[in-house]
Amino acid sequence: MPQLPFSYGSVGIHSMPVEILTLIFLAGAASEDPYAGSAFLLKPDKAYNPLPSSNFQVVVSHVCRHWRQTAIATQSLWTILHFRHPSHIKRGRIYLARSCSSPTRLLDILIETVSFEEHDDGRTLYDKELNQIFLTIIPQIRRWRTFHLKISDNKCKGTARLYLGTCGPAPFLETLQLYHFENYRTVEGLFQATYRPPVAIFGNSLPRLKNLSLIGVNLQWEKIQYLHGLHHLELALHSENVRISYKIWDRMLRSCPELKTLSLHYSGPKKEIDEPPYAWHVPENRIRLENLASLNLTDLGVEYLCTLINGMCFPALRKLSIELPDQDYSPFIELITRLPASTVQEFNGRRDSTSKLEKVNPIIPFMSKLEILEIRMLNCSLQSWTGLLQAVHGLRQLEVDFARVPDLFWTVFTQGYTCIPPAHRPAIEDEESMDSHKVLLLPKLEIFKFTAVSGEDITSALRYRHSCQGAYKPASQEWIVGWSDRRRERDQELDDLINRGYWIPDGINRASSKVIINGYYDDDDEDTEDEGDEDEDS
């Protein structure tokens, strides 16, 4: 055996050079990026859940003296200042002291306060705590990189207005998220919460702003200069009276050519039909968002949505996420998928001649390139639904909550559809499918994630899908089925599918023809169960 260059006695973890230990600490703290999924940590309607690893630097600093000294000396371990509990105020000051000597270490800040009614002294943050937090962090304003603030009533709102209105510019702020949640479900409540005109914040100077999320919060739209060059934009929970004017909306989007994600949740521009250069409904002057990859539409009235989408164009869209309940959204679905009747013959079967298609319906070409479609809720006719799935024929991933769409939506996966005129149907050679002339929806689908479908229906869809193989070469496929302990043993067929997967019955090479069926934990389902239990108790 070759001689080791050092003696065994010194191989313990304590002999590890400080530089390497530091790197390990940094890697550990960065192992889960809270910003991996989205630039915006706060979600409308949801409580903020910190990542399990968010305490990593504290844990390693408690192991031994050596580790503690090393961790404390590593300034960039202490730049995340999240305030959700009164103890976090003291913690924040300690972190600041540890990261402070280096003025270039930028800070990620999140503050979550509650309303007066919800406030529990010693457990939650309210106005007094908010004042203390601002006094701690405002002196560091030149180091803010991200700032997420959730407030839940007018008192805290006043405090936030005071500090943000006087703090001056934040030269390195890249992500700004302001969330005012207050009984927004009634228009009345929202009006009460928003009638005060907005103040200028950050001295109207945020030169590095890239990501902006405003939830129930309004800005001095007319005066701010920093609404350009954005990459991620979210507007949520704005009643008509506080919405951004169409003029500013138009100007803002046109000056954000790099915009990658746009999320609208019961928000968007105000209608201003009388102002000619910026009037809605100007298809010849659509706002083109060349780099928009992801669009998220939640809770928008159907007419409003149609007008909005008609004024825009997203040639690079890859992901569409929708939650559109309570109305009949067939007109919207048709707007983004339908060919004018006169051109159906011309285009069916070859929807890839983009330039020609753009003339008849500029939205269709991007729908055909869509890769991910997430349907959290949708109401539309079966015909529109089928049309949608036909239009997105390049789709790789589909997610649908079948508990929140009309009952018949699953049938298109078990019976196919007959929308394409016979002349345009692909030739079907294998005998089994000859009789039915089935055409397969979503031929490129790799991941299908859904919930609220029985084992029997899933099997039936899998059989159907693989009876259409003449036109279809499955690569790898995974169906991910909503699942919970509550469902276990209620549906034997579903249990079997999840345990064993599904073997394509007529596959030539069985080994490569298995469809993986995975269960995923369906949180909503658990919530429903909890509510049910409460009902039983009372």
Ligand X SMILES: *[C@@H]1O[C@H](CO)[C@@H](O)[C@H](O)[C@H]1NC(C)=O
Residues lying near ligand X in the complex (CB under 6 A): 35, 39, 43-44, 146, 174-175, 210-211, 231-232, 236, 260, 263, 265, 296, 298, 321, 326-328, 330, 374, 379-381
Phi, psi of 515 (to 5 degrees): -95, 125
Minimum CB separation from ligand X for residue 253, in Å? 16
Measure the CA angle with vertex 495, ends 493 and 500; round to 5°. 95
**Residue 304: CB atoms within 10 Å:** 16
Query: Cα(453)–Cα(206) distance, rounded to whole angstroms?
Result: 48
Minimum CB separation from ligand X for residue 158, in Å? 26
CA distances, 506 to each of 438, 494, 503, 509 (Å): 16, 21, 9, 9
Minimum CB separation from ligand X for residue 357, in Å? 26
Minimum CB separation from ligand X for residue 116, in Å? 26
Under DSSP, is residue 416 helix (H, G, I), strand (E, B) or coil?
A: coil
Minimum CB separation from ligand X for residue 234, in Å? 7
CB-based contact 224:204 (threshold 8 Å): yes
Q: Which runs of consecutive H residues, i.e. helices, occur in 47-146?
A: 56-61, 65-73, 87-99, 127-137
Closest to ligand X by CB, 151 vs 458, is 151
Minimum CB separation from ligand X for residue 415, in Å? 19
Closest to ligand X by CB, 231 vs 514, is 231
Closest to ligand X by CB, 167 vs 377, is 377
Closest to ligand X by CB, 193 vs 322, is 322
Measure the CA angle with vertex 161, ends 186 and 137; round to 5°. 125
Query: Cα(198)–Cα(167) distance, rounded to whole angstroms?
Result: 15
Minimum CB separation from ligand X for residue 293, in Å? 11
Closest to ligand X by CB, 303 vs 493, is 303
What 8-state DSSP symbol labels residue 140?
Answer: G
Query: Cα(361)–Cα(380) distance, rounded to whole angstroms?
Result: 20
Closest to ligand X by CB, 35 vs 521, is 35
Under DSSP, is residue 319 helix (H, G, I), strand (E, B) or coil?
A: strand
Closest to ligand X by CB, 320 vs 445, is 320
Minimum CB separation from ligand X for residue 210, in Å? 4
Closest listed residue to residue 151, CA positions, set 197, 195, 187, 184: 184
Closest to ligand X by CB, 176 vs 517, is 176
Under DSSP, is residue 175 helix (H, G, I), strand (E, B) or coil?
A: strand
Closest to ligand X by CB, 194 vs 298, is 298
Non-local CB neighbours of 160 within 8 Å, separated by 6+ positions: 130, 134, 149, 151, 178
Minimum CB separation from ligand X for residue 278, in Å? 26
Amino acid code (one letter) for 131: N
Minimum CB separation from ligand X for residue 38, in Å? 6
Minimum CB separation from ligand X for residue 54, in Å? 15
Beta bridge partners of 400: 375, 450
Query: Cα(72)–Cα(259) distance, rounded to whole angstroms?
Result: 38
CA distances, 61 to each of 34, 73, 239, 259 (Å): 21, 10, 47, 40
Query: Cα(216)–Cα(179) distance, rounded to whole angstroms?
Result: 6
Closest to ligand X by CB, 43 vs 424, is 43
Closest to ligand X by CB, 194 vs 211, is 211
Query: Cα(354)–Cα(352) distance, rounded to whole angstroms?
Result: 5
Closest to ligand X by CB, 81 vs 504, is 81
Query: Cα(170)–Cα(518) distance, rounded to whole angstroms?
Result: 46
- Token readout for 109 is 């800040």
Closest to ligand X by CB, 37 vs 52, is 37
Minimum CB separation from ligand X for residue 174, in Å? 5
Beta bridge partners of 515: 502
Query: Cα(182)–Cα(216) distance, rounded to whole angstroms?
Result: 8
Query: Cα(83)–Cα(80) distance, rounded to whole angstroms?
Result: 10
Closest to ligand X by CB, 210 vs 351, is 210
Label the pairing between strands 502-503 and 514-521: antiparallel
- Token readout for 213 is 């999320």
**Residue 338: CB atoms within 10 Å:** 18
Non-local CB neighbours of 163 within 8 Å, separated by 6+ positions: 134, 138
Minimum CB separation from ligand X for residue 491, in Å? 27
Minimum CB separation from ligand X for residue 47, in Å? 12
